[in-house]
Amino acid sequence: MTDSAGTTTEARERRPGKRERLIAAAIELLHQKGVERTTLADIATRADVPVGNVYYYFKTKDDVIAAVIEIHAEQVTDTLAAIDARHRTPKSRLKAFVRELAGQGDLVARYGCPLGSLCSELDKRINGSSFDIGVLMQLPIAWAEEQFRALGHRDAHDLALELLAAYEGSALLANTLRDPGIMSSAGRRLDRWIDTL
């Protein structure tokens, strides 16, 4: 069945709503262009939403950024839960986490770590950051700490920090040098490191 515009009912049902499209566009653009260079008009254009409609959902760019942080946190939580569901041992979970991170090599080499870049950029804003950006790093750190603790390590927190620092450092180098191979190498090195613990 089609409507007067020629759109099928099925196509309308599958297309995300305007708010969801705006957030998805913001996630992409904030990662690709950065916070300061992304405008609400850019986001509206990418989302295929009239610019005036943006203000119905978000009053300011900061409101969009807050929604992006919330979605990123949900995605991290969902990814970690999926890893927990698919893998039985803490060691296999940690290795799956490393594979997940290393598998983003092309994207990271082009634009940087989606979470790390956003955290760093928001932290350097002239007026400071009113966002709870720390949650984006705290979620994987707490999860990794739980895995290391289950492996019997008393220094589980330090090991979790080391794991995330190795990833973020590799992401920075991969982006700066535009070399996705750095992420693959880091993934293999972290996999071996987990085996030695």
Judge contact between 163 and 94, C-beta under 8 A.
yes
User: With bands split at pLDDT 50, 70 and 90, how would you rate the model's confidence at 125?
Assistant: confident
Q: What is the mean pLDDT of residues 70-96?
A: 98
Q: Is the pLDDT at 21 greater than 70, yes or no?
A: yes
The residue extents of the domains of the chain are 7-59, 70-196
What CATH fold (topology level) applies to the domain 70-196?
Tetracycline Repressor; domain 2 (1.10.357)
For 39-56, letters b (16+ CB in 10 Å) and e give ebebbbebbebeeeebee
The pTM assigned to this predicted structure is 0.88
Short-list 110, 109, 115, CA closest to 184: 109
Q: Which long-range contacts (CB under 8 A, 24 or more apart) does 130-137 make?
A: 130/62, 131/62, 131/65, 131/66, 131/69, 132/69, 133/69, 135/69, 135/73, 136/69, 136/72, 136/73, 136/76, 137/164
Q: What is the pLDDT of residue 8?
A: 55
Q: What is the pLDDT of residue 189?
A: 98
Cα dihedral 162→186→136→62 (10° resolution): 130
Is 7-59 in CATH node 1.10.540.10? Answer: no
- Residue 174 phi/psi, 5° resolution? -60, -40
pLDDT digits (tens, 9 = 90+) for 173-193: 999 999 999 999 999 999 999
Six-digit token pair at 105? 């090599």
pLDDT digits (tens, 9 = 90+) for 27-69: 999 999 999 999 999 999 999 999 999 999 999 999 999 999 9
pLDDT digits (tens, 9 = 90+) for 147-159: 999 999 999 999 9
Q: What is the pLDDT of residue 31?
A: 97
